[in-house]
Amino acid sequence: MATFSTLTAMGIEDLDQISRFQVRPRSDHDELKVCFERSSGSCRPASLKFRFPRSQNPEVRIALQQAVEELGQLLERRNTDPRAAILRSLEQFERVMEDKMTEIKRRLAQRPA
């Protein structure tokens, strides 16, 4: 796999497990959220967030741009098969629903009848 120097410099080591990313503007900074494909029970984080302050410093803006470009390149390579992308989305949805159902059942079990 090609080197993605900006992502590596940000501390992202498991590039092959990145599933998606999102950039959100906040009041005084931009937030880059990188999500990973993790198996249930994994101790590794499901996502990482990075804050890029809005400043006059062009290096900060360039770093965010480079990170977004590298993430786009990485995911574009992987998402060439639309059927595989749909299957990944379904698997992610199933994981979210299973986690939510487990949480709801746990909360119901804690409440007195």
State residue 32's pLDDT score: 95
Is-above-0.85 flag for pTM? no
For the chain, 113 residues long, give each residue's pLDDT as a single digit of tens: 457 889 999 999 888 889 889 999 988 899 999 998 887 778 888 899 999 998 778 888 889 999 999 999 888 877 667 787 788 788 888 988 999 999 999 999 997 76
Alpha-carbon gap, residue 37 to 85, rounded angstroms: 13
Strand partners, 48: 34
Q: Residues near 15 by Cβ (< 8 Å), separated by ≥ 6?
A: 1, 4, 7, 8, 74
Q: 21: burial class by Cβ within 10 Å (0-12, 13-18, 19+)?
A: buried
pLDDT in tens, 99-112: 999 999 999 999 77
Alpha-carbon gap, residue 6 to 29, rounded angstroms: 19
